[in-house]
Amino acid sequence: VEPLVCPPETLERVHREMLLFFTGRDRAAASVLRTQKAAIETNEPRTIEALKKMRDLAYELRERLSRGEAEAMGRLIGENWDLKRALADGITNPLVDELYGRAREAGASGGKLLGAGSVGFLLVVAPEERHAAVRASLSELREVPFRFAARGTHISLFERDGVG
């Protein structure tokens, strides 16, 4: 693990461009992870090449952000998502694909489903001037406010239907 060193205004811009939506579904990730692991263990050239490209995209994103190129975030995350979706069955589903497609049509530059796949949270990256259109395109989903945390992921408060 290496820290990401980039101008503070770059991280703030990236943060402002991100929107997070709960798809309304959750499940244990174990079955999706088993399927992904099995696909990787086949050593199929297509799978290995996709994993290498995913690695390279992560390095490229680190470099671009360190140079202050916040606009690279959406495109690179979107490319990573396209590669991950092709790794194994169960990483996505028709609903997630539809939601992602609607966000892209509304102006999102990229995004991905967070976690193992199939359900959960959809992260969308879009220029701020496209946020209203993206939100409207995903109006049936619950938007989840979030902030970057220097100490890692944590939940301050989660409310479901008004119950804490």
Is the pLDDT assigned to residue 152 strictly greater than 80?
A: no
Measured between alpha carbons, how far is 77 from 111 in angstroms, rounded to an integer?
Answer: 6
Strands in the chain per DSSP E:
18-22, 110-114, 121-125, 142-143
Is the pLDDT assigned to residue 75 strictly greater than 70?
A: yes
Is the pLDDT assigned to residue 126 strictly greater than 70?
A: yes
Q: Which two tokens stand for residue 21?
A: 């939506």
Average pLDDT over residues 73-94: 88
Q: For residues 80 and 57, is the Cβ–Cβ distance under 8 A?
A: yes
Q: What is the predicted pLDDT for the residue at 117?
A: 57
pTM of the model: 0.79
